[in-house]
Amino acid sequence: MMKKKEREPGHVPSLAETFTTIAKRTLVGYAILAAVGATIATFSAGRGVVWGFLLGVGIAGAAMGLTVVVMMFTEKRSGVSDMAALLGSYIVKMIILFVAFVGLRRSDFFDGTAVLLGFVAAIIVSLSVDLWTIARTRA
């Protein structure tokens, strides 16, 4: 039997292809979100809000990037080691986020509310891309 090519009806992507597609689409989504958010913030609120929004998107992007790297690394591993690595990466992300937010707490070059908005918007973009990509591979 001949293997179906990508974008051909009936093609079922491998996990690596799915993870790569999710990473690319999320990166594009973050770039669009950062550009649109920074533009809106520039015209409506000023420089502090721009830096806050970009910082929030960047922190969420770093967290998503770590998750994708761990998932691609553990793709061919057994279920237990794969879940242990994923759980370990979540713990590492929580520690990094805690240190980053505590370290940035006393900085005054950004707006804290804008960081939260950028972070939440990036998480929504990431979840939307994941849902859309995985739903399309199942169809």
Q: Is residue 1 part of a domain?
A: no
Query: b vs e for 105-125, b when ≥16 Cβ sit within 10 Å of the residue's Cβ?
Result: eeeeebbbebbebbbebbeeb
Q: Is residue 37 part of a domain?
A: yes
Which among 90, 30, 38, 84 has a CA at the least distance from the CA of 60? 30
pLDDT score of 77 more than 80: no
Q: What is the mean pLDDT of residues 83-88?
A: 82
Range of the domain at 100: 15-138
Instruction: Give the integer Cα–Cα distance in Å for 74 and 81.
Output: 8
pLDDT score of 4 more than 90: no
pLDDT score of 1 more than 60: no
Q: Is residue 10 part of a domain?
A: no
Three-state DSSP state, 44: helix
Q: What is the pTM of this model?
A: 0.78
Three-state DSSP state, 131: helix
Q: Is residue 6 part of a domain?
A: no
- Residue owning tokens 């051909």: 8
pLDDT score of 113 more than 70: yes
Q: What is the mean pLDDT of residues 84-101?
A: 86
Q: What is the mean pLDDT of residues 103-114?
A: 82
Q: Is residue 9 part of a domain?
A: no
Domain count, the chain: 1
Task: Identify the pLDDT of residue 138.
Answer: 66
Q: What is the mean pLDDT of residues 101-115?
A: 82
Task: Identify the pLDDT of residue 54.
Answer: 92
**How do residues 11-68 score in pLDDT, each as one tens digit?**
677 777 888 888 899 999 999 999 999 999 888 887 788 888 999 999 999 888 888 8
